[in-house]
Amino acid sequence: MKFDKEYTLKEVASWIGGEPIGDLSIPARGINEIHVVEPGDITFVDHPKYYKKALNSAATTIIINKKLTPPEGKALIYHKDPFTAYNKIVKHFSNFSPSNDLISDSATIGEGTIIQPGTFIGENVKIGKNCIIHANATIYHDIIIGDNVIIHSGTVIGADAFYFQKRQDGYHKMISGGRVIIGDNVEIGANCTIDRGVSADTIIGDGTKLDNLIQIGHDTVIGKNCLFAAQVGVAGAVRIEDDVILWGQVGVQKDLTIGKGAVVLGQSGVGNDLEGGKTYFGSPAKEAREKMKELVYVTRIPEILEKMKEK
């Protein structure tokens, strides 16, 4: 996530009760996990195994549980629990707050947009023009929705990422600091769940259409004019390019890429990157033609067993 403005190392360290190491005026412009950091970002590391990776990453400020000399042009913040410190900074910038109103005062809603009864719209939500948000939908805080978007009833946009760190006393939650951004002309069916990003944004491209009961995980980026049938589940940090079709009940594992124009047949399970322009089937998914052949081969095993008996 990017901050609203630039802060100094000194300010950031004071929020988390950490000890700044290095130039106190070094700027912080955002915070991110180690694998997605950019210059200006804060990140954290709490295991010696990853110290080197963190120090060599693009991050400008590293929250760390050991006192080291910062690399050239970078700063450290010493903290005995960097994970908790990271969460504290993300929380500092979150617009979530207890609400008494179904529609927050800080939400902006475009001309011609219809909000049906029972729908909740959180702090700092921006909805474009000529949208319909049907009854009993839920839009958490910090969500951006384009023009001509239809969202059906019961759909939940912006719930927290399912993202936990296992520690000795159980799972600790990584606070979700990202948003959900929905393009123009998107339609989302009933009872879907589109989680917010942990540190970046979950994005649904222009013209994409989702059926009912679909799960889209945190930080996942979906291209334009995709079509997902009912009960599809896409995990976190997946990249789905334009014009992809996922048929009903398809599951997609995290951190994958599905190429432009790929078609995945119903109930398939995607466990690897898929090249665009092809059709896939099976769990795990393969090219459909190949998988269909395998299904026929299996039916020939009795014949094989019979022939072997003869010999």
Beta carbon nearer to a copy of itself, 38 or 184: 184
Beta carbon nearer to a copy of itself, 233 or 259: 233
SS (H, E, C) 252-279: ECCCCEECCCCEECCCCEECCCECCCCE
Selected from 66, 91, 108, 114, the binder of a copy of itself by CB under 8 A is: 114
Q: Cα 55 to the chain's mean position, in Å?
A: 25
Judged by CB under 8 A, does residue 179 bind a copy of itself?
no
In the residue annotation, 218 being an active-site residue is answered as: yes
Nearest to 195 by CA among 172, 173, 212, 176: 176
Selected from 39, 48, 73, 118, the binder of a copy of itself by CB under 8 A is: 118
Q: Shortest approach of a copy of itself to residue 189 CB, angstroms?
A: 6
Between CA 125 and CA 140 the distance in angstroms is 8
Give the list of residues 6+ apart from residue 254 with CB closer than 8 angstroms, or none. Answer: 217, 235, 236, 237, 238
Between CA 107 and CA 105 the distance in angstroms is 6
Question: x/- string (CB under 8 A) for a copy of itself, residues 211-250?
Answer: xxx-x-x------xx-x-xxx-x-x------------xx-
Structure tokens of 82?
């960097």
Residues in binding contact with a copy of itself, number by CB under 8 A: 78
DSSP 225: S
Q: Shortest approach of a copy of itself to residue 119 CB, angstroms?
A: 8
Residue 297 φ/ψ, nearest 5 degrees: -55, -45
Selected from 19, 47, 73, 135, the binder of a copy of itself by CB under 8 A is: 135
Judged by CB under 8 A, does residue 159 bind a copy of itself?
yes
Subset of residues 139 to 158 that bind a copy of itself, contact rule: CB under 8 A? 140, 150, 152-156
Subset of residues 28 to 87 that bind a copy of itself, contact rule: CB under 8 A? none
Point out which span in 14-22, 37-45, 61-69, 189-197 binds a copy of itself (CB under 8 A): 189-197
Judged by CB under 8 A, does residue 271 bind a copy of itself?
yes
Q: Helical H runs in the chain? A: 9-16, 51-56, 82-93, 288-299, 301-310
